[in-house]
Amino acid sequence: MPAGSDTTEEAVSGASPDGPVPPAGTGPTGDRTDTPDAGPGAPAGGPAPDGGNGAGGSADGAGTGGAAAHPPRRPGRARRLAALARREAVRTVLAVVSGLALALAFPPYDLWPLSLVAVAALSLLTRGRTVRQGAWTGFVLGLPFFVILLKWLHVVGWDAVIGLSVAEALFMMLLGAALAGTSRLPCWPLWTACLWVAQEWARDRLPFGGFPWGRLAFANTGSPFTPLAALGGAPLVTFAVALAGALLAGCAATLWGLRGAGSVRRAVPAIEAFGLAAAVTVAGLAVPVPTEADDSVDIAVVQGNVQQPGMDFLGRPMKILDNHATATEKLAADVRAGRVKKPDLVIWPENSSDLDPFKYPQAYDRIDEAVKAIGVPVLVGALVDHSAKKGYVFNEGIVWDPKSGPGASYTKQHPVPFGEYVPFREQLSKIITRFQRVPRDFAPGDHTGVLNVGPAKLGDVICFEVAYDEIVHDTVGAGARALVVQTNNATYGRTGQPEQQLAMSKLRAVEHGRAVVTAATSGISAVVAPDGEVTHQIPEFTQGVVSARIPLRDETTPADRVGAAPEWALAIVGLLSCAAATVIGRRGRTKDK
């Protein structure tokens, strides 16, 4: 809970280095934030508590042996907290509403302009505030945002939703504190945008390898900002969205400061800020997104479906494998009948074999039958027991040839903590018995997923790995001419999670100039063109096959060539702005003393 006063010389004067802003005492919400309510013992120029005249009591009362004047008493804790709650109530409510609006910017709602509104709202609500007040505002915006965004985790349990949301909201708390601290610097919208990138940089990596869900870029996979991904990846898209939102906040703050006494001349900074926000928003439309192909390949994506959604999607053993094998054999029959063209390769999703084919002969034989029926290589998703560590498994994509059988494979590099492995298993399992439903830990792979599947050199990325910049970037850098996302979203069917993951595939297509094929056990299986357009799609919980010709491209984008450099540079600039604000603030306090 924030505490303390945010009154400064600049805030009281209502001006900042870059133009007028709302005074800290009366922000756009109309609530006062400069001084706490006077308590019952606070001097106010009237009769003092000791019966003297005024704040100091009676001098001659002390001189004649009477009681000395009592020092002013601080209000009780409860009264101070009540006063704080009254001061922060409106601002807190506005932050909560802004967090809900930000959640609606993401799939399955896809109201991307709300991402600009949320950034602008957080900028205004932290403008001219203390660091602690900014931290509180960031947290109460972040918590409802992540609860709505990650509600698909309720399949595991609402405690998982709340726990992960609180953890992610702590990063938003740090962002709110940083925005408050830098809000009095010149060019503060620029530092705001850099700090959004810095927040996402940290959240993408910490803890346990990070959790990138909720990046501003992932809400803008079908907006004018999207082509910027080809220049600087997801971080550049986030930067542009945050910059446009902060400029809109600057426009609103300037206009608020002119209320009742404005003129056209004094409104010029607001007009300039709005113009810059508009320019940043449409800048992506000028970025070319090359799509011409060096070659092409005919593919078929098999979505075999599952018995039921949820934690128990596997059903009886061999059921999911049989679903995918049967769908592939139906495709083979259609090819023989001349109803469809024979593909060059077939793609099955993650966990399409629910048994280890190298351990269970019936699973091996069922896969082999289906692959021989279609007569082309099939990329099969399977869990394979670790050969050296008992109790560990590999989550793999295996190239299965109709003549030679299983060959090259890719092992998922980034298993999901608490979902595919349990950190501190021995200790946590005693407290949270639900972790017993993750009986085996997934072992990470140690190389990228570039595989020769028939005539195509494909980059395999498994499930949540599509959210991590470096994994996809390294895969393209290793020579992938198209990308495949093998995924199993049956646990989270009809919750919005498959739509959120498909949006990430759309951004990766533009970022790397590659076709992206998403193969899911229960949906959404789709084909995304290099310009981010979804060209083919199978609905959730429907057995089906998508046949498509996808381009194979060798040309790399500027984002491929610069890698993580823009993200690091923008994040460092954001952190330096915090350091500058701290130094300037200390110098100002020293000067005042």
The one catalytic residue in 412, 465, 499, 578 is: 412
The alpha carbon of 561 is separated from its chain's Cα centroid by a whole number of angstroms, namely 23
| Contact present, 352 and 382 (Cβ < 8 Å) | yes
pLDDT (tens digit, 9 = 90+) per residue, 182-192?
A: 999 999 999 99
Residue type (1 letter), 304 = G
Task: Give me the DSSP letters along 217-286.
Answer: GGG-SSSTTGGGHHHHHHHHHHHHHHHHHHHHHHHHHHHHHTTTS--TTTTHHHHHHHHHHHHHHHHGGG
Q: What predicted TM-score, i.e. pTM, was given to this entire model?
A: 0.85
**Alpha-carbon span 467 to 102, nearest angstrom:** 19
- Give the highest mean pLDDT range of 16-20, 489-493, 565-569: 565-569
Identify the helix (H) or strand (E) that includes residue 296.
strand 295-303
70-74, 101-105, 456-460, 509-513 — which is least confidently predicted? Answer: 70-74
267-271, 411-415, 577-581 — which is least confidently predicted? Answer: 267-271
pLDDT band per the 50, 70, 90 thresholds, residue 16: very low
Q: Does the pLDDT value for residue 94 go beyond 90?
A: yes
Q: Does the pLDDT value for residue 398 go beyond 90?
A: yes
Q: Does the pLDDT value for residue 2 go beyond 50?
A: no
Give the pLDDT score at 50. Answer: 39
Average pLDDT (13-39) is 40
Average pLDDT, the chain: 87
The edge-to-edge listing of strands for the beta sheet with 534-538 is 450-453, 456-462, 482-487, 516-520, 525-528, 534-538
The tokens for 21 are 């802003």
Q: Does the pLDDT value for residue 377 go beyond 70?
A: yes
The tokens for 108 are 């399955």
Beta bridge partners of residue 487, listed in sequence order: 520
pLDDT (tens digit, 9 = 90+) per residue, 196-235?
A: 999 999 999 999 999 999 999 999 999 999 999 999 999 9
Say which residue, 435 or 375, is predicted with more confidence: 375
**Alpha-carbon span 554 to 149, nearest angstrom:** 35
Average pLDDT (544-562) is 97
In the chain, what is the straight-line distance between the N-terminal and C-terminal CA atoms, in Å?
28
**Alpha-carbon span 533 to 515, nearest angstrom:** 10
The tokens for 468 are 């991590």
Q: Are strands 482-487 and 456-462 parallel, antiparallel or unpaired?
A: parallel
Give the pLDDT score at 64. Answer: 45
- Give the highest mean pLDDT range of 7-11, 275-279, 386-390: 275-279
pLDDT (tens digit, 9 = 90+) per residue, 95-121?
A: 999 999 999 999 999 999 999 999 999
The one catalytic residue in 194, 251, 463, 578 is: 463
| Contact present, 365 and 414 (Cβ < 8 Å) | no
251 is catalytic: no
Beta bridge partners of residue 382, listed in sequence order: 353, 396
The one catalytic residue in 88, 168, 350, 540 is: 350
Percentage of the chain beyond pLDDT 70 is 83
463 is catalytic: yes
Q: Does the pLDDT value for residue 292 go beyond 70?
A: yes
Q: Does the pLDDT value for residue 193 go beyond 90?
A: yes
- The count of residues in the chain is 593
350 is catalytic: yes
Give the pLDDT score at 382. Answer: 97
Give the pLDDT score at 388. Answer: 83
Give the pLDDT score at 58. Answer: 40
pLDDT band per the 50, 70, 90 thresholds, residue 262: low
| Contact present, 399 and 406 (Cβ < 8 Å) | yes
